[in-house]
Structure 1
Amino acid sequence: MVIWTIANQKGGVGKTTTTVTLGGLLAERGFRVLLVDTDPHASLTYYFGIDAEELENSVYDIFIRGKDITREEILQSLCPSGVNNLDILPSSMALATLDRSLGNKGGMGLILKKALQKVKQEYDYVLLDCPPVMGVLMVNAIAACNRILIPVQTEFLALKGLERMIATMALMRSSQQKDYAFTIIPTMYDKRTKASLEAYKALKATYQDKVWSAVVPVDTKFRDASEAQTPPNVFAPASRGVFAYNTLLTYLLQLAPEA
């Protein structure tokens, strides 16, 4: 089982779109895929028409139950996506209380990693959609993964959010003595604007081979797909945005060690 964490400490850069589209494309290729919503805002959960506040179980239960949660309890918390090979572990607003209730307890950074290992026989890929803030949720998502995918909107304010994300990974690398593989994904690229071009150039100059060599363009089909509560590759398979993510997925699958 391979785990990718989609994270950035700036909102609105395409984290949920990246999670849903890559997850949908992996499922389309025949992989068994689990999407995990660790954001209290529950954007990924609502994307699939799941009302986070109407659910009896969610990812919140994993954190509350900790090491005592069973494989069966995790599987009971899953929701169907409406797409073959694609399941959802939904979020809950209660996740917003975790930093206050659990943040100071020891060993809280590995809860999600240990829980996902209990369902490793059920899935080939797990994608974790993160909140845009540093806390126990992001720490868990980063600690659990094989690779961090960092969507970065191609505009200069988003580059500042990337700097904070890189600093966060450096802190975790130091505290956990583990190096984190990561890939920066330029998103919302608009070739008509100088701002997008200059931001992309700055990304490549600063982070070099850590930046995926292509871009995800601005594409209104992403918005339309979310309104239809369907992954973009199912809603608009021929769109330029889906083509970009398909190219990105092919690239990611070739990377070691997870390939």
Structure 2
Amino acid sequence: MYQLVKIWTVANQKGGVGKTTTTVSLGGILALQGKRVLLIDTDPHASLTYYFGIDSEELEVSVYDIFARGNAMQSEEILQALCPSTIDNLDILPATMAIATLDRSMGNRAGMGLVLKKALEKISEHYDYAILDCPPVLGVLMVNALAASERILIPVQTEFLALKGLDRMMRTMELMQSSQSKKYQYTIVPTMYDKRTKASLEAYKNLLSNYKEYVWPGVIPVDTKFRDASLAQKVPIEYCPKSRGVFAYRALLDYLLQVN
């Protein structure tokens, strides 16, 4: 069976570190390079879904149905759940608040950790890349996203509390690796970096000190253009192609394509 060329999961057990921005930035750049890209929202808050102007409350089918129906959901039905974006080659598998109930209603069901991976295999011939935006909570959604992925991208805001969140995430990765006998490839992405502040400088230094072999050697700077792009419901490469933030994500993508 044809496999997706790349499956990346963007994850961190702390909110507000740039997960959705990282997902839409990398996805947008890849799409404009002519790659077929699927962005998957696995967060009950549906930030990625709303980013593209999709009203999660109006959806008839979403990522929730993939979990609820499992193997019974055929490839054609999965494809019908996808929403196109404003640029060619970029589709979104949206989320709804209903996925917040998955841990309680289906968490103990056998095989629940591999639902998303199996669903992606059914539509793999349609895409070159899939990028999954994770919730900041360890549960069936994050487990699925990690299990489906070839590489984990961990955005870390360059400030003290975010480093504590990274410690939790790294422990989660260790647990997942031991339970699945799978070695994850992961890249720590320093985000919201402001070289004018001592907090950013110290946090970045701390990252390099503790995780140097896993840290991408660049940084994603603070860039208000990201907020403007979100407001306009456009991917950053489309809204502000010459911004320093987009320049940084271009460099990150080049790096990821070299190490994969």
TM-score of the pair, normalised by structure 2: 0.98
Picking from 84, 89, 101, the partner of 1:85 is 89
- Structure 1 residues 108-163: Cα deviation after superposition (integer angstroms, max 9, x where no partner): 10000000000110000000000000000000000000000000000010000000
Aligned-pair CA distance for 1:68: 1.2
The residue number in structure 2 matching 1:60 is 64
| Counterpart check, 1:163 vs 2:160 | no
Structure 1 residue ranges without an equivalent (≥5): none
1: CA distance, partners of 2:140 / 2:255 = 30
Partner of 1:127: 131
**1:198 matches 2:202:** yes
* Count of residue pairs the alignment pairs up: 256
Q: In the aligned structure 2, how far is the partner of 1:229 from the partner of 1:179?
A: 36
In 1: Cα distance, 2:71 partner to 2:148 partner: 14
1:108 aligns with 2:112: yes
SS of residue paired to 1:175: helix
Find runs of 4+ consecutive structure 1 residues off by over 2 angstroms: none
Aligned to 1:241: 245
Partner of 1:146: 150
Q: Following TM superposition, by how much is the alpha carbon of 1:105 offset from its aligned partner in structure 2, in angstroms?
A: 1.5
Aligned CA-pair RMSD: 0.5
Instruction: Report sequence identity in percent.
Output: 72
Asked if 1:34 corresponds to 2:35, the answer is: no
Q: Distance in 2 between the 1:80 and 1:87 partners? A: 4
| Corresponding position of 1:72 | 76
| Cα distance in 1, alignment partners of residues 72 and 177 from structure 2 | 27
TM-score by length of 1: 0.98
